[in-house]
Amino acid sequence: MKKNDFKQVEMEINLNKEIYFSIIESLLFVSGEPIKLKELALIIESSEDFAEDILKDLMVKYESEERGIRLININNQYQLVTKPKNSSYVQKLLKTNIRQSLSQAALETLAIVSYRQPITRIDIDDIRGVKSDSALLTLVDKGLIKECGRMDVAGRPILYATTEEFLKNFGLNNIGDMPSLESVLEGMAKEVEPLDEAAITQEE
């Protein structure tokens, strides 16, 4: 193939990409909900590999440009979401706090579930040292955790795990993207300022 022929093929591929960018963007915008890769491939009448390549390019395109939205992939489901840095303005429009602050109890419970899932309420209570019924109800209500079955022991207690909404809210593609518990604890330790021994001596 001649050099000019290669250029022609490249131009056609790039042109097709732009067409598919437009089509997929429309599909994701209209849906509002995550769409499976397989479903997108069927709609645009392509292989899953081709659709995935287009989606990856589209993700890079959104991240590299100053756009107000980005494309995320959670367990092979794709969705358009607003960029976190614009959340305060979005909240003003909706006149509500989209990511309402969680209580300390709810945050503790969510952290335990995310790192120890699937886990029962009794185990959560044992780790926290207090009852977690209210915190669990709050997290379920917000769609951050869900019941994912029952433990095969006496009483068959309910097991809890995080949801796709949890992944979306924390910008994770899957639970494997979570930082290690050790690194989180190290970060928390660094944020604690060392005590000023001289100041303590003076106060005494």
What is the C-alpha separation between 73 and 28, in angstroms, rounded? 12
| Pairing outcome for strands 77-82 and 119-120 | unpaired
Q: Which conformational region is residue 45 in: left (phi greater than 0), alpha (psi within -120 to 50 degrees), or beta?
A: left
Q: What pLDDT does residue 14 have? A: 55
Question: 12 and 61 share a domain?
Answer: yes
Summarised one tens digit per residue, pLDDT across range 21-54 is 899 999 998 887 889 999 998 998 888 888 899 9
Domain residues for the domain of 23 are: 3-86
Q: Can you tell me whether residue 158 is helix, strand or coil?
A: strand
Instruction: List the structure tokens of 109.
Output: 């419970």
Residues 121 and 165 occupy one common structural domain: yes
Residue 146 shares a structural domain with residue 109 = yes
Domain boundary pick from 56, 86, 116: 86
- The number of domains in the chain is 2
Average pLDDT over residues 6-21: 62
- The verdict on 109 and 143 lying in the same domain is yes
Query: 172 and 131, same structural domain?
Result: yes
Residue 93 has pLDDT above 90, yes or no: no
DSSP E strands, the chain: 35-36, 69-74, 77-82, 119-120, 145-150, 158-162
Percent of the chain with pLDDT over 70: 76
55 pLDDT tier (thresholds 50, 70, 90): very high
Does the structure show a pLDDT above 60 at 149?
yes
How does residue 191 score in pLDDT terms, banded at 50, 70 and 90? very low
Same domain, 130 and 158: yes
Q: What is the pLDDT of residue 183?
A: 61
Which of 52, 86, 120 lies at the terminal end of a domain, its last residue? Answer: 86
Read off the pLDDT of each residue in 52-70 and give the average, rounded to a whole number: 87
Q: How far is CA 185 from CA 56, 101, 125, 179, in A?
A: 33, 21, 20, 10
CA–CA distance, 191 with 193 (Å, rounded to integer) = 6
Average pLDDT over residues 47-75: 87
Evaluate whether residue 179 is within a structural domain: yes
| Model confidence at 6: pLDDT above 90 | no
Q: Is 94 domain-assigned?
A: no
pLDDT in tens, 167-189: 877 777 778 777 776 665 555 45
Q: Please, which pLDDT band fits residue 124 given cuts at 50, 70 and 90? A: very high
7 and 81 share one domain: yes
> In terms of domains, do 72 and 33 share one?
yes
CATH number, residue 48: 1.10.10.10
DSSP string computed for 171-193: T-SSGGGSPPHHHHHHHHHHHSP
Of 169, 105, 101, the C-alpha closest to 135 is 105
Quick one: DSSP state of residue 130?
Answer: S
Residues 186 and 108 in one domain: yes
On whether residue 95 sits in a domain, the answer given is no
Q: Is residue 59 part of a domain?
A: yes
